[in-house]
Amino acid sequence: MSKTSRYLYPHEAQMLGFDIKKNEVGRKNARYQVKESDWEKVKDSRNSEEKTETVVNDYNEKKPFVLSAWGDNGRMMDIDKYCEYYNLPRNTISSYKLVTHTGVPYYNIAYGKVSTENEIDIDSIKSILNSELNKVYYYEPKSFTQPQETVLKWADLHFGAHIRNLLLTKDYDSTILRDSLLQSVFQVNSLGYKKVHIHLMGDLIESFSGLNHINSWMSLDKDEVGAMAIKLCTKLLHEVFSKVKNLGSIKIVSGNHDRLSKNNDEDVKGGAAELISWGLELMGYDIEFHPYIITHKVEGINHINLHGDKGISKKSTEDILWKYGEKGVFNFIFEAHLHSIIQKLSVSQRTKFRTVKDDALDHRRMHCPSFFTGNYYSETLGYNSNAGYVLVSDNGKGLPNVFQMAI
């Protein structure tokens, strides 16, 4: 098989089994002779790499603070020296990983006993859901005052997150999430639509394994991880769905937090969101799930839902519409993932930011606000916003009425 010369980051070279080379002068990576099949793996890994959003270099901005693994002697510290240097409790660390591709090397550390991918048993989780989630929902149309249907869009629920006492970011937990979801339901019920469809835009849970991100254990409710996150999130959504008047269909795409494994290259289909969808279907709801994209035509509007973290979101609007759009109707692409309708750009770029990414006579593309607005890590990067949701309906002429509601 032919080989080609490619630049690889240290973690990519390690993934392919190479001995790590010293980075070339002026670069953060080194050149390797790579098989074409291995290069495809690298490209797939880069496309699915989990990140909030690539930030364009702005050398006037401060870089986020991390605990550097470089020692005072210029050598890389091992985990024991790292913990001693920063006064971290080494004896309570359950797992760690040296991250070297970010410019400043650091250890991704998890404390305590948490679920790992080796403990995942999909059949066992399904057995739990099957025994506890009986069919309890039956469609009963209620009186309505408006002749049209509408779509209620919920993004980034992050069930299981536990955020407290940050400077700007609001507190967050499953109780706050429940109250926010119910607020959106009461709002849409008061408008009296003929039918209400619900689109969940991914990141239903914060973490299944507890190992998604560096120090993710600090932002988790210990009783809402693993199989309990699946079960309790399913029950919460049932409680909220059951209060929606004239509920229609429910469409769910997965997000990067919905994976069952700790590494994003091991579960690329969002198994947690799929299990939650399966549980809700057991309860009697009209559910459609897809790992990365769902289209749903509601009256004259064709909704195209993406979470926003996967490679498809990097494609142009025209490319997405060509493959997934519908001719003759208004196509509306919705994305989430950013925990804000404002993308995470540099200061100079924010001044030029447009809430709507693309807009034309027959299509539009935009980001949805999130219920979860951040944690300690996002606040240290300077990102914060208000929670909210989106309501979309046909104005009677095949064009969208869009309401962005703050919570």
The pLDDT value recorded for residue 34 is 83
The pLDDT value recorded for residue 307 is 94
Distances from the Cα of 309 to the Cα of 28, 48, 83, 202, 312, angstroms: 24, 7, 32, 10, 8
- The identity of residue 223, as a single letter, is D
271: left (phi over 0), alpha (psi -120 to 50) or beta: alpha
Taking the C-alpha atoms of residue 2 and residue 350, their distance in angstroms, rounded to an integer, is 45
The pLDDT value recorded for residue 232 is 93
Element (H, E) at 222: none
What is the set of domains in the chain, with CATH numbers?
1-48 (no CATH), 118-406 (3.60.21.10)
Over the chain (407 residues), the average pLDDT of each successive run of 10 is 77 78 74 82 66 43 61 79 78 72 72 50 76 82 90 96 87 94 96 97 89 66 85 95 96 92 68 94 95 96 94 92 95 86 51 66 92 80 82 96 92
**Closest listed residue to residue 272, CA positions, set 334, 228, 336, 335:** 228
The pLDDT value recorded for residue 363 is 95
pTM: 0.67
Please give the sequence-ordered ranges of beta strands (E in DSSP) within 80-211, or none if there are none: 93-99, 106-111, 149-154, 195-200
For residues 197, 201, 202, 205, the Cα torsion angle rounded to the nearest 10 degrees is: -60
b/e for 161-189, b at 16 or more Cβ within 10 A?
bbbeebeebbebbbebbeebbeebbeebb
347: left (phi over 0), alpha (psi -120 to 50) or beta: alpha
The pLDDT value recorded for residue 62 is 44
Taking the C-alpha atoms of residue 93 and residue 73, their distance in angstroms, rounded to an integer, is 25
Please give the sequence-ordered ranges of beta strands (E in DSSP) within 312-387, or none if there are none: 330-335, 356-359, 363-367
